[in-house]
C-alpha cells in the first residue's frame, strides 16, 4: 500500500517528469516557466524573436516596474540586451 508505482522516481519534480517525456531538457523547461514572470510586452518580443530566450529569462528576475523601464529605454535607443548585459 505504501510502495511507489513502478517506474516512478522518488523526489522527481514535475519539471523533471515533463523533461523525461519531452525533447526539451529540464533546464530548458525551467527557462520556459521562468518566462511567465516576464513583463508581457517583453514576452511578446520573445514570441516575435526580437528578444532572445536566455536574456529574457535573466530579465524576468527584475521587478515588473524595472522591466517596464527597461522596455522604454530599449524602445528609445532601439537596442535589445545581450545575455551579458541582461
- Give domain status of residue 60, yes or no: yes
Whether 82 contacts 56, CB under 8 Å? no
Provide the pLDDT for residue 11.
Answer: 65
Cα 12 → chain centroid? 20
- Give domain status of residue 42, yes or no: yes
Total number of domains in the chain = 1
Provide the pLDDT for residue 77.
Answer: 97
In tens, the pLDDT along 58-74 reads 999 999 999 999 999 99
In tens, the pLDDT along 2-55 reads 444 555 555 677 778 777 878 878 889 899 999 999 999 999 999 999 999 999
- Give domain status of residue 85, yes or no: no
**pTM of the shown model:** 0.77
Q: Could you list the residue range(s) of the whole structural domain that residue 48 is in?
A: 14-77
- Give domain status of residue 6, yes or no: no
Provide the pLDDT for residue 24.
Answer: 79
The helix or strand, by DSSP H or E, that contains position 69, with its residue range, turns out to be: helix 64-77
Amino acid at each position: 500500500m505504501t510502495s511507489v508505482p513502478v517506474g516512478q522516481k522518488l523526489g522527481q519534480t514535475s519539471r523533471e517528469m515533463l523533461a523525461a517525456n519531452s525533447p526539451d531538457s529540464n533546464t530548458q523547461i525551467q527557462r520556459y516557466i521562468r518566462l511567465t514572470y516576464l513583463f508581457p510586452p517583453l514576452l511578446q518580443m520573445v514570441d516575435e524573436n526580437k528578444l532572445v530566450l536566455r536574456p529574457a529569462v535573466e530579465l524576468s528576475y527584475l521587478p515588473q516596474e524595472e522591466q517596464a523601464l527597461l522596455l522604454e529605454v530599449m524602445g528609445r535607443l532601439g537596442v535589445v540586451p545581450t545575455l551579458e548585459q541582461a
